[in-house]
Amino acid sequence: MKQEGNPILSLTAYDYPTARLVDEAGFHVILVGDSMANVVLGHASTLKISLDQIISATRSVKRAVDRPLVVSDMPYGSYHLGKKETILNALRLVREGGAQAVKLEGGSKRAPLVESLVDADIPVMGHIGLLPQAVHPRGGYKVRGRTSSEAKSLLEDALALESAGAFALVLEGVPASVADRITSRVRIPTIGIGAGAKCDGQILVFHDVVGLSLGPTPKFARKYADLAGEIRESLTRFAQDIRSKDFPATEEMYEDGELPKDWDASTKNPERALDLDR
């Protein structure tokens, strides 16, 4: 798709119904992202989510779709203790979760891991720029590539990951001009998130797109609906109908057929046992 110039449509999903809707909308890539830690599980960062949780979410997503490419994030700690453990964890995502590829964060220093995963027949999507899993060593969520040294380092990271065998790159929190230059220098597709309009594709978090995020959203997110508002209104109306006994209505009840009015007359309530401790 990079050669044809057709944008790659990507979005996150973490469950069956969401994945179904994303597929129906024609998206090419579904990322089972560690952002689930924030928007679904309520954590302040992505660091809290486990490999088992990502595997479970991937299963749900994969049951819903056949056409889109399903990519699973390798969560924090799942690729930090050496090649062997990284491969074993990635194999679990593929074999148990059904992922068709994995994504991991980091640049040139991750290239040996990427090469090992590719040698193990596991497709890898790279991720450079703003790295949510590196929030602590980097002192927060900061745009990368605003200086010449940072921009050059990002380009070197991109080229190293491509050389290691990554099939695509996520560019997050990168100035548009830098992302454009990187996109023109690599042969593999780039997918931007806060990286301008010149990447080969775009991705956002599903909850940000549909207005279901309950916390602050990043500058680069665009909201196309207000599902949180719609849900609040629906639940308020439901609660009101229960209180006023407008729910359920007759058409929402089951008829009793031809039961006699005294059908319960022969059934006696059990006598209460005497509580001697009182």
What pLDDT sits at residue 271? 79
Question: When comparing pLDDT for 46 and 270, which is higher?
Answer: 46
> Which comes out higher in pLDDT, residue 140 or 204?
204
pLDDT at position 12, please? 98
Q: What is the mean pLDDT of residues 138-143?
A: 92
Q: Residue ranges of the domains in the chain?
A: 8-224, 226-255
Q: 8-224 belongs to which homologous superfamily?
A: Phosphoenolpyruvate-binding domains (3.20.20.60)
Task: Give the pLDDT of residue 256.
Answer: 87
Report, as residue numbers or ranges, the catalytic residues: 172
| Rounded percentage of the chain residues whose pLDDT exceeds 70 | 98
Check: pTM over 0.85? Answer yes or no.
yes
Using 50, 70 and 90 to split pLDDT, how confident is the model at 274? low
- Percent above pLDDT 90 for the chain: 89
- For the segment 29-50, what is each residue's pLDDT rounded down to a tens digit? 999 999 999 999 999 999 999 9
Residue 245 has pLDDT above 80, yes or no: yes
DSSP the chain: -TTTTPPEEEEE--SHHHHHHHHHTT-SEEEE-TTHHHHTT--SSGGG--HHHHHHHHHHHHHH-SSSEEEEE--TTSSSS-HHHHHHHHHHHHHTT--SEEE--BSGGGHHHHHHHHHTT--EEEEEES-GGGTTTTTSS-----SHHHHHHHHHHHHHHHHHT-SEEEEES--HHHHHHHHHH-SS-EEEESS-S-SSEEEE-HHHHTT---S---TT------HHHHHHHHHHHHHHHHHTT-SS-GGGS---TT--TTTTTTPPPPPPPP-TT-
Residue 174: what pLDDT? 98
